[in-house]
Amino acid sequence: MELKVDDVSEPVSPTGQYFNSSILSICVLGVLESQTPIDDSSAMLLLKDVFLPISPRFSSIMVKDEDGVKRWKKCEVKLKDHVYVPNFPEGLSLTSYDNCLDDYLSKIAMEQLPQSRPLWEIHIFKYPTKNAAGTLIFKLHHALGDGFSLMGALLSCLQRADNPSLPLTFPSRQWPSKMDTSHNGSIIIATPNFFTSVYNTISDFGWSLLKSSCIEDDPTPIRSADPGVEFKPITIVTMTFSLDHIKQIKNKLRVTINDVICGIIFFGTRLYMQTCSHNSKANAHSTALVLLNTRNINGYKSVEEMVKPDAQSPWGNQFGFLHVSVPELTATESSNPLEFVLKAQKSIKRKRDSLAVNFTGRLLEALRRFRGPEATAKYIHKTLRNSSMTVSNLIGPVEEMALANHPIKGLYFMVVGVPQSLTITLISYMGKLRLAVGTEKGFIDHHKFKSCIEKAFELILKGAHEIPSNS
């Protein structure tokens, strides 16, 4: 099937150029788990009538004009070239199909999207697994937009399962008034004291500059010293936590939900490093690169609003990043894991009192202007490579969603093509928090890492329950 469109072009955003360059090619895998077997008979019609109209970029390719400037150019879209339905033997066990899906996700994560057609694909895995009756996988190039944009696009294709005429709703804000949640990252920016802000901004920006240029994290069980990590196979493993349990921990410790989440991730990571290194590198210097949405908005906007010329929350890539040191695991935190959450909270709170993200954004823009997008992409690549992991999150709807009458049982996403051995993503959905871990295959034991994260959650929840309610 071919769709003919007018030949119209618009400039590619700076971040879009960085993420689709000779240095970087970063994509997002969005995985929807269907509660019922998937009927793909109407897939082409849905793509034509629902998906493509969401954004002109879904029917455009990236080209260079006569001045060497990258632009989005409208093209004919052959939908059959974007839809894949893998075939596996019939009658296998759920465990076998789980393995097939794992291998398939690893395979498509490594493959480059062809530059000769629009930068997206859809894969329909029609076999039952332990988590779903069928699985739908969106592969979208990060040059198309950030997590906020892509989530908005995804929600445009979905409806409430209980009543399609009603809009999807999202969790109410659970944050102190001075904070603003991030839909594309786990750090929150506050309005700080002026002098504290100046000091922290100078300190954090200077540290970020050093981390992005000359200071690397130590090689550890979570950070390979080998080059070309982004070209190596990955394994994706997920786990699910109750948001009610996370809120219980938050209330007992009087911190934020993001503090709890970061504490669990960092504590579990240190437990894994301790297990693998027999304490020799358990507390080696490790940095998490945390992505955050820089839009000054509350909640998702419709795609129609995002694509307006004067949109308050425009479509595209509108995010920054912060370096957050993973706290060391001492004997105190080993016996009382709540101390680890509080230590993580203290570190994150300090990052809130900083405008380093704004200065980092200006630095990238200056690099682009004076040295070009390829040099800027190289700087971002080194920023990623010099740290140990990336953490990114999204907020999902409260109600169950449906796609073409297929109730969505669960969903998660993964950023692929990143030059790191460890990537962690989170998304909330129907009162649950789905945590996905992307690990370098053969280097990180994904089963052991998952077990350590789950153990960290259990220990922290148990510790919170032991705190008297009136304390």
Per-residue pLDDT, 189: 34
337 closest CA partner among 416, 405, 252: 252
Per-residue pLDDT, 186: 36
User: Quick one: pLDDT band at residue 391, thresholds 50, 70, 90?
Assistant: very high
- CA 99, 102, 105, 110 torsion: positive or negative? negative
Give pTM, 2 decimals. 0.87
Residues 6+ apart with CB under 8 A from 414: 28, 29, 31, 105, 109, 236, 423, 425, 436, 438
User: Which region among 45-59, 140-154, 338-352, 441-455 has the lowest average model confidence (pLDDT)?
Assistant: 140-154
The architecture that CATH gives domain 179-396+419-465 is 2-Layer Sandwich (3.30)
Distance from C-alpha of 279 to C-alpha of 300, rounded to nearest angstrom = 44
The yes/no answer on whether domain 2-160 falls in CATH 3.40.605.10 is no
CA torsion 289→295→301→302, rounded to 10°? -80
Distance from C-alpha of 267 to C-alpha of 85, rounded to nearest angstrom = 39
Distance from C-alpha of 372 to C-alpha of 374, rounded to nearest angstrom = 6
Q: Where are the domains of the chain?
A: 2-160, 179-396+419-465
Question: Per-residue pLDDT tens for 133-171?
Answer: 999 999 999 888 766 677 777 777 888 999 988 888 877
Specify whether the backbone of 430 is left (phi greater than 0), alpha (psi in -120 to 50) or beta: left
Domains 2-160 and 179-396+419-465 in one fold:
yes
Helix, coil or strand: residue 93? coil
Distance from C-alpha of 259 to C-alpha of 265, rounded to nearest angstrom = 10
